[in-house]
Amino acid sequence: MRQIALCLIILLLGQGFSFSQTQIDQTKAIEIINRLKANFLQISDAVVDVTLDYNVSFFGCSGKRQLKGKGYYQAPDRIKVTLNDITYFARGNKIRKRDEKGGKWYVQLINALNFTPGFHPGLINYNFDLSIVEETPDQITIKGIPKKGIMKNVKSVLFYIDPKENLLRKLDVKFVNEKLPGKIKISYQKIKGLWVPVKLEGESAIVVARTFLVGINLKLTGKNMQINNRLPPALFEPGF
């Protein structure tokens, strides 16, 4: 009986330690993400010339496309982008599209991130349950499992973080369809003493016709970046 009791105590202690360690791991991962968020939010606003190169393969049809235009950002949750005479306004999860004739439509995101808190690294812990996979002086790897109802086509994401500069350098996405690759690299430029993201490139996937998940190669490049110039709120969609 004593041996059984001892085994039960060891088992319970082991389970308790495991749960506690998971909580500690999650808390530490969130602290790391919060440092990234605080670093990023030193950028209160930005204006940039943008070029989007992409290639989608769908039912054997593919071809490189390029869109050019202007992008505007106001922390924490406002974006305005004009690409080939089509303007998109985004505030959190609300997105509105306006064509060259002034016509307006609302855009719905399917199986996407929840952008309610804004457009910054805080999106990571808002949308994912986190755990630290590896930690060295030069790189921290954090694994994210999508929370319920978020990104149903994604199993997990690995976030690779530079702990010295508090920057997200790259990420690997594991889709439900494991044949689709998901690797994104982020490049930065120092402007006014701050590291600002100026290029995002790699491979991902998008939903086509509300049903099909297809691969996409993309490169989003920003040039002539200007930051922290107190952009007027009226520049963005009024009342949006």
pLDDT digits (tens, 9 = 90+) for 128-185: 999 999 999 999 999 999 999 888 889 999 999 999 999 999 999 999 988 888 999 9
Mean pLDDT of 66-86: 94
C-alpha 49/C-alpha 38 separation (Å) is 25
Cis preceding-peptide flag for 146 (omega within 30 of 0): no
Confidence of residue 104 (pLDDT cuts 50, 70, 90): confident
Domains of the chain: 2-235 (2.50.20.10)
Q: Is pLDDT at 2 greater than 90 in this prediction?
A: no
Most confident of 51-60, 99-108, 111-120, 122-131: 122-131
The share of the chain scoring above pLDDT 70, in percent, equals 83
Measured CA to CA in angstroms, residue 111 lies from 103, 144, 150, 206 at distances of 26, 16, 6, 10
pLDDT of residue 9: 43
- Give pLDDT, residue 155: 95
Separation between Cα atoms, residue 20 and residue 22, nearest integer Å: 5
The mean-pLDDT minimum among 18-22, 155-159, 189-193 falls in 18-22
